[in-house]
Structure formats: structure tokens, C-alpha cells
Amino acid sequence: MIQLSKKFLSKWAVVGAVLFMVVQVLTFLYLPTLTAGIINQGIAQHNLSYIIDQGIKMFFLSIVSVIAAGGNIYFAATQSQLMGKKIRSAIYRKVIYFSEQDLSHFGDSSLITRATNDVVQIQNVMVNMLRMMIMSPIMLITAIILAYTMSPKLTLIFVISLIILVIIIYLIMGQAIPLFRSIQGKTDNLNLTFREGLTGVRVIRAFNRDQYEQDRFDGYNRDYMNTGIKVYRLTAMLFPLLTVILNFTNIGIVWFGSQLIANHTFAVGNLVAFMSYATQILISFTMLSFMFVFLPRASASAARINEVLNQKDTITDPEQPVQTKATPDDHNATLEFDDVSYRFEDAERCALTDVSFKVHAGQTLAIIGGTGSGKSTLVNLIPRLIDPEKGVIKLDGTPINEMTQYDLHQLVSITQQKAVLFAGTIRSNMQFGNEKATDEEIWHALDVAQASDFIKREDGLDTKVEQNGENFSGGQKQRLAIARTIVKHAQVYVFDDSFSALDFKTDAKLRSDLRNDPMISNAISVIVAQRVSTIANADEIIVLDDGKVVGQGTHKELLANNPVYQSIVHSQIREGSDSNA
Ligand SMILES: Nc1ncnc2c1ncn2[C@@H]1O[C@H](COP(=O)(O)OP(=O)(O)OP(=O)(O)O)[C@@H](O)[C@H]1O
């Protein structure tokens, strides 16, 4: 909490809130003293002018108190909301640059819970802290001092009541705090199951797992509810108990106070003021204790948020980056891997071992290999979505980790294996990597990607794209993602298994259009594919097996002397003839 407050809470807000609160408390606490004066010197001595005088004072003090309370609430509410906004932005900024591993380490659902629910916990506590945490101690201490100056003997009653209250709060909090802490973890479980259910809804139905998933969700839901009930049952006991203590305290004050009045050592007005102080002291103390109940939950949330914000950046820009003069339209670059290896965190074996190659502008490099052989890992290294454990990757002779990521991403355009589209229109999606792309350029890219037909049948470039591109089929999404890659001007175009959802004919047409496109054909193309037919024309083919390069050369060379490539080719010919049979 402290770390987040230092970073995201304005110091002036705290100063403002404290100043207003001090004024509010002091004016508020002075009112019982004035009441005592009215009773003792006004009513008892039939002094009307004194009563009017004190009444006017009370009126103005009340107005000052209300204005001060408003000022404090304004600071507390706006600053806690502002703090929440800043934290959410910081989390989003951080997560956008997370590596794949960081993303899977935290999990999507947990990150969403942290950016929403956890931030709300911080906001709620912060607004109360800027009010209660300031008000309660000032109120408590000032009320005790004022009461003590009126009657040290009667103040003893508070001490006894406070001791009883401390014991009760200690017992209740001892049980409530661990429950509060556990609620955030349970929220994660709930969100995770809900999200998994939503994304996998078709699979769940198709496999008749709806009841199973419903029961699983109900389990987490019930667990969350039971914890909530336990917590609120415990904390709800606090108020009735406080009322009982308050009543007994007042009885004690009246009992002993009336004896003092009978002995003429205490005035009636003081007794009334004393009872007001008793109420304020006990309520302030309870409020303060409540803050200590809510604080653990908020600090659990703060710890979860800090975990994200303090996550070490795995992929960083160099302190003194090389200023690359290359522009996306310069098509004379080379892409070079020099002995590159990559290992996923905590993995025993490398996902990629000692990969070396060099491709020039105008050439196509193809990567082929079985499932899990390291193809995506290799291409993800090019735009630095991951960094190699060993070896150097150079673009245009410059190691890519010596440029800024911004510069690198300007030069590389990639279609990921899983096509991702964003809610908006076809035009907004196509302009994602090239804001200045004209309609003509976009239509050209859609033509090359074999995506223009189905777009023309809709509203053209204004066709709506739903969240995650849900209103398009898998193959259509893939073609649109390819078109988006083409719209961006780049020195290196990467297509990670992007043609797999296309039928043979469309695949062949798309590759031929790509070859004939002046921009793509002059740049470097890196194509990951499962089908030999997709890559047979490549200038260089890398055959991967278990992360190692087991073959490198042209289709002809590999077909002549590489057993792994030969077996891939033969298996696909067999598959083709089997399916034709
Ligand atoms: N986030 C990850 N954490 C740990 N290991 C991973 C992760 N992603 C992939 N791997 C492992 O790294 C290896 C290479 O994965 P990669 O995705 O590069 O294979 P691929 O050749 O692209 O497979 P496919 O053709 O199925 O897409 C696999 O053994 C996989 O299990």
C-alpha cells in the first residue's frame, strides 16, 4: 500500500485532506463544549443573551465543519479515483510489454482481476483512509483530552470501555483478517473458471461437459460466497457489541456523573458534553479498527498489483540504442541468426538449439518441422517477442537487441500463428500497422491475402469486426491477419503457420500473389509452414526437429539428401493420395 501510495497518490491531496479533516474534527468537537456552556451558564442561569451568543457560534462552527467535511470528501474521493486510474494505466502499460512467459506466469484472468477488482479494493481503502484514518485518531485523541479536562475521574469509564472494545475487536479481527485475505485469491478462481467457460463454451457443449463445468463454477462460487458470509457475519457482530458497550458507558457516565453533580463537583451541561465525547471516542475507535480490518484485504490487493508492476522487464531497450537509418521501404537488408539458442524459463531443454542462417532482401526463408519442433519460437525471436539465451540475431548487420524495440518493430511485420483481430472495422484493423494506408493499398493487401471476396460481400472496408473477430471464420481471420501484415511496410515479413487454414488452391494463389507483389517480393519473407507445397519455392528451407536444425538448403537439395525432409515429403504425398483415394 505504501509503495503504491508513494507512486500514485499526490502529496498535495494528502495535505489537503488532512487540513480539511483537522478543521472538521476540531470544529465538530468544540460543539459539545458549547452545548455544555449553554446548559450551565445559559439555561441554568436564565441568561438568554448568552444562549443566543453561543447559538450563533454553534451555527457558524457547524457551517465551517460541514464545509471542511465537504473539502475532505472531495479530496478523498477524487484522489482515490485518480489513484485507481493511474494504477490501472500502469498495469496496462506494463502488461502490454510482458513477455509470453510473464503472461502465462500470471494468467489472463488474474491480470484482469488485478487491474479491476484489486484496484477497486485500493480505491475503497484509500477513500476511507483519507477520511477515517485521519479523522478517527484526531477525533479519538482530541475527545479524550477534552473529556479529561472536564473530569479525569469520569474519563476512567472510557478507559474500561476501550479495554473491553479492544479485546472484542482483537478476537473478531483475528478471524476476519485471514478470511479477507483469502477473498482475492477466490476471486481469481472465479474469474478464471468463468473466462475459461466463456472461451471454451463450444468445446464444453460438444463434449457434454456443461454440467461438469457448471458444478466446477458453482463450487468456486459457493466457496466465494461462504467466505463472504463468514467475513460479514463476523464484522456485523461489531456494531451491536459497540452499541451495547456505548449504552453501558453512558449508563456509567450518568451513574457516576449524577453523583458528582449531587456533590456539586460537576455541572449538568458537562455531563451532556461528556456523553457526546463518549460516543465519539468509541465510534472513532471502532472506525479505526474497521480500517485495520479492511487494510489487510487492500494490502493483499496491493501486493498482487505490485507483483505485476515490479515484474522485471525481460525484454528491454539498450541504454544507448543504435540509430538505424534503415526505413521499412529500404529493401536491401539481411537477416542473420548466428548460433542462436532459446530456452523457456524453467525448461530443462532448449526449445531451439544453435540455429544459424542468413537471408537477403528478395529471398524467402521457410521453416518446416513437426509439432513442437521450435518453428514459432524461431520466428518470435525476430521481432524480439522473446530474447535468445545464446547467439546473436542481426537485421541489416545490426544486432536487434542494440536497436530500440520501436525501430525494430517498424522494420518487421508478422502474422502470428493464432490470428488476432480487434473490435472495430476492417479498415481500422488493416491500418493497425500503417495508419496512413489508403483504401487502395488496403484493397490490394486484401486481394493478395485472398480476403477481398468475403469483405466485398459485406460492407467493404467498413465491415464491422466483433471482439476477437468472432464474426469471421478461422480461415477468414487468418487471411485478414495476413492482409494486415502486408499493409504494413517492412523489411522482413514473417508468416507463422499462417497458411494452414487455407485450402490448397487458395494457399497456392496467395503465395503466387505474394511473389508477384513488388513490396513483399523485394523484402525478406520468413514462412513457417506444415505443408511442403507451401515452401517448395523458398530460397532456403530450414528443417527443425526437436529444436535442432536437421536440414538446411533448397527443396531440391533437401529432397535429395535429407532423410527428415524426405520423410515429411513422403508422408504428405501418402496423405494426399490417401485422401484422393
Ligand atoms: N510458453 C512456453 N513455456 C514453456 N515451453 C513452451 C512454451 N511455448 C512453447 N513451449 C515448448 O517449446 C517447444 C517449441 O514450441 P513451438 O511453439 O516453437 O513449436 P512449433 O514448432 O511452432 O509447434 P506447432 O507446429 O505445433 O505450432 C515445444 O516443445 C513447446 O512445448
9-57: pLDDT as tens digits = 888 878 888 888 888 888 888 888 888 888 888 887 888 888 888 889 8
Higher pLDDT, 513 or 331: 513
Residue 32 CA neighbour count, 13 Å, CB half: 21
Q: Are 415 and 369 in contact (CB under 8 A)?
A: no
- The angle formed by the CA atoms of residues 383, 386 and 391, to the nearest 5 degrees, is 90
Rounded to whole angstroms, the Cα distance separating 392 from 340 reads: 6
DSSP secondary structure letter of residue 470: T
C-alpha cell at 377: 519460437
Q: Residue 547 CA: which ligand 1 atom is closest?
A: 14
SS3 527: strand
- Cα–ligand 1 centroid distance for 375 (angstroms): 8
CA distance 426 to 529: 26
The sheet that has 548-553: what strands, in order across it? 398-399, 390-395, 334-342, 352-360, 548-553, 540-545, 364-369, 524-529, 492-496, 412-415
Query: Which amino acid, one-letter code, is at 379?
Result: V
User: Quick one: cell of 228?
Assistant: 463472504
Residue 574 has pLDDT above 70, yes or no: no
CA distances from 20 to 31, 62, 66, 340 (A): 17, 14, 10, 62
Alpha carbon distances (Å) from 493 to 32, 332, 501: 78, 14, 19
Please tell me which of 192-201, 226-235, 393-402 the model is most confident about, judged by mean pLDDT: 393-402
Largest Cα–Cα separation, the chain: 119
Give pLDDT, residue 430. Answer: 94
Do residues 475 and 501 make contact, with C-beta atoms less than 8 angstroms apart?
Answer: yes
For residue 381, the one-letter residue type is L
Cα 542 to Cα 375, 399, 533, distances in angstroms:
9, 21, 15
pLDDT reading at 511 higher than 80: yes
What pLDDT, on the 0 to 100 scale, is given for residue 519?
85
Alpha-carbon span 184 to 110, nearest angstrom: 10
Q: Which residues are within 8 A (CB) of 297 and not within 5 positions of it... i.e. 6 or more apart?
A: 121, 125, 180, 181, 183, 184
Q: Distance (Å, rounded) from C-alpha 183 to C-alpha 70? A: 33
For the Cβ of 498 lying below 6 angstroms from any atom of ligand 1, the answer is: no
Q: How far apart are CA 17 and CA 74, in angstroms?
A: 8
Are 447 and 520 in contact by the 8 Å Cβ rule? The answer is no
- Lowest-confidence region among 58-67, 149-158, 294-303: 294-303
Q: What is the dihedral of CA 119, 97, 99, 3, to 10 degrees?
A: -40
Burial of residue 117 (number of CB atoms within 10 Å: 0-12, 13-18, 19+):
middle
Q: 576 pLDDT exceeds 70?
A: no
pTM of this prediction exceeds 0.80 = no
Q: 258 is written with which cell numbers? A: 449524577
Choosing from 373, 544, 550 the residue with most ligand 1 atoms within 8 A of its CB, the one to mutate for a pocket test is: 373
Supply the pLDDT for residue 530: 83
338 — phi, psi (to 5°)? -120, 100
DSSP lists the bridge partners of residue 549 as: 544
| CA-proximal residue: ligand 1, atom 24 (nearest) | 371
Res 340 pLDDT > 90: yes
Confidence bin at 462 (pLDDT 50/70/90): very high
| Alpha helices (runs of H) in 266-327, residue ranges in sequence order | 268-309
Residue having the nearest C-alpha atom to atom 1 of ligand 1: 101
Candidate from 344, 417, 544 with most ligand 1 atoms within 8 A of CB, to mutate: 344
Cell of 243: 452499541
Mean pLDDT throughout 354-367?
92
Which one has a higher pLDDT value, 563 or 206?
563
Does ipTM exceed 0.90? yes
In this structure, which amino acid lies at residue 162? L
How many beta carbons lie within 10 A of that of residue 419, not counting itself? Answer: 21
What atom of ligand 1 comes closest to residue 417's alpha carbon? 27
Q: Is 344's C-beta closer than 6 angstroms to any atom of ligand 1?
A: yes
The dihedral sign for the CA sequence 394, 395, 399, 401: negative
424 strand-pairing partners: 465
**Cα(387) to centroid of ligand 1, in Å?**
15
53 CA → ligand 1 middle, Å:
83
Give dist(CA 231, CA 228) in Å, integer. Answer: 5
88-97: long-range contacts, CB 8 A cutoff, minimum separation 24? 88/115, 88/116, 88/119, 90/7, 90/8, 90/309, 91/115, 91/119, 91/305, 91/308, 91/309, 94/308, 94/309, 94/311, 95/308, 97/313, 97/315
- Among 375, 494, 495, which residue has the most ligand 1 atoms within 8 Å of its CB, making it the best to mutate? 375
From CA 541, how far away is CA 352, in angstroms rounded? 16
Beta bridge partners of 244: none
- pLDDT tens digit string along 368-392? 988 889 999 999 999 998 899 999 9
Q: Is 104 close to ligand 1, i.e. is its CB under 6 Å away?
A: yes
| Confidence band, pLDDT 50/70/90 cuts, at residue 285 | confident
Helix axes 504-516, 474-487, angle to 10 degrees: 0
Is 99 touching ligand 1 by the criterion CB < 6 Å? no
**With bands split at pLDDT 50, 70 and 90, how would you rate the model's confidence at 293?**
low
- Torsion sign over Cα 95, 98, 100, 103: negative
Grid coordinates of 434: 500503417
Proportion of the chain above pLDDT 70, given as a percent: 98
Q: How many residues make up the chain in this entry?
A: 581
Quick one: cell of 121? 479494493
CB atoms within 10 A of CB 263: 8
Closest residue (by CA) to atom 3 of ligand 1? 344
Tell me, using a 6 A CB cutoff, whether residue 375 lines ligand 1.
yes
pLDDT at 580: 46
Residue 297: pLDDT over 80: no
Contacts of 358 (CB under 8 A, 6+ apart): 334, 335, 336, 337
Q: For residues 110 and 98, what is the distance between their CA atoms, to the nearest angstrom? A: 14
CA gap 258, 264 in Å, rounded = 9
pLDDT score for 581: 42
Quick one: CA dihedral 371, 375, 381, 385, positive or negative? negative
